Amino acid sequence: MKNIFFKKQTLIIGSLALGITVVASSFVKRAVPTPPVDDLEGTISISGAFALYPITVKWADEFKKLHPNVKFNISAGGAGKGITDALSGLVDIGLASRDIDPAEVKKGAYTIYVTKDAVVPTFNTGNPNAAALLAKGVKRDQFLNVFVTGNIKNWNQLAGKVSVPIHVYNRSDAAGAGETWAKYFGKKQEDLLGVGVYGDPGLAQAVKKDVTGIGYNNLAYLYDLKTRKQVAGVHALPIDVNGNGKIDADENFYETIDQLTDAIAAGKYPSPPARNLGFLFKGKPKKKELIEFVKFVLTTGQKDVDENGYIALSKAKIQEELKKVN
């Protein structure tokens, strides 16, 4: 009888201990704080500059990983279209790759700069004078006489001995690249000569298909971001910045996109065509998802800039731009 009683006591104590353990375990589980619910949602519509399009898509993809309930509609159609779309209320953000004129400011244009890049003159690598062109480069005034006055019509007037006519290609759409390239000569995009071609990819392809072609492009369409080198067929036409008739060692920075962006950041490349790129709003952004997206781009998003062929803003510039949404 004593053994039976002892076994019952043991069983009762064991059950109680198990019960206490279960209760304690349940208590511990309930005590673990639940992660905060992401209540950020909405749709952000964006259109505009081909120059900003690739990095903006990257930023949107990264932002969605943090805020999956935010959707994006992004399209490239040139800076002019993006600015017009934003000021007319068709999109939340216009991708701007040129200076904003006073008339646009009067309509409510509010720009927050997010990165930097540059417009680069281009030519076909099959050009019979290619070696001489790469060695000598082209002076600013020579570019002006190709793209604006039309006084230079043959490649041998720039470098080399082979007589080949210059076929000039220009952007047909209202483009930040066209406006910035023209600004290098103190002109407007409409002052540039050449066969009009739509979009950055189209302009690169036009020069690539024409051995006598000359044009200009944003960096993202001139370099392969995997190899970091220039794409086959169309290359940067070096600018003889100091005008001494040759490309010196400190002007020879076009082989990789990293060399060129470093040169732009260091001020070795002329400005213009180096420039700031920005998000344009109609008035100061008020929607929570827009404000958070801009903050993300100016902080976490800056880590994606170098890899994608752009130039990160300085810490002082980032703080200046962040104040525009605070």
Taking only the tens place, the pLDDT of each residue in 157-176 is 999 999 999 999 999 999 99
Query: Average model confidence (pLDDT) for the chain?
Result: 91
Regarding whether 145 and 55 lie in a shared domain, the answer is no
How many Å apart are CA 270 and CA 23, to the nearest integer? Answer: 72
Rounded distance between C-alpha atoms, residue 64 and residue 268, angstroms? 37
Phi, then psi, of 167 in degrees rounded to 5: -105, 115
Contact 137, 131 (CB under 8 A): no
Helix (H, G, I), strand (E, B) or coil at 285: coil
For the chain, the domain total comes to: 2
Separation CA 224–CA 249 (nearest Å): 23
Residues 260 and 140 in one domain: yes
Distance CA 142, CA 39 (A): 56
CA dihedral 129, 133, 138, 144 (to 10 degrees): 20
Q: What is the bridge-based pairing of β-strands 213-218 and 109-124?
A: antiparallel
Supply the pLDDT for residue 192: 98
Give the pLDDT score at 265: 93
This prediction has a pTM of: 0.84
- Single out the residue of 177, 164, 250, 284 nearest to residue 213, CA to CA: 164
Do residue 212 and residue 302 come from a single domain? no
Residue 28 lies in a domain: no
pLDDT of 39: 76
Given 217, 241, 265, the domain boundary residue is 265
Please name the residue that has the structure tokens 């369409």: 221
Task: Tell me, yes or no, whether 302 and 313 share the same domain.
Answer: yes
Residues of the chain with pLDDT under 70: 1-37
CA 115 from centre of chain: 7
The CATH code of the domain that includes 194 is: 3.40.190.10
| Structural domain range at position 91 | 42-116+275-322
- Burial class, 195, CB count within 10 angstroms (exposed 0-12 / middle 13-18 / buried 19+): middle
Q: How far apart are CA 84 and CA 259, in angstroms?
A: 34
Q: What's the pLDDT at 37? A: 59
What pLDDT score does 38 carry? 73
Chain segment 21-61, per-residue pLDDT in tens: 444 444 444 555 555 557 799 999 999 999 999 999 999 99
Which phi and psi (to 5°) does residue 291 adopt?
Answer: -60, -45
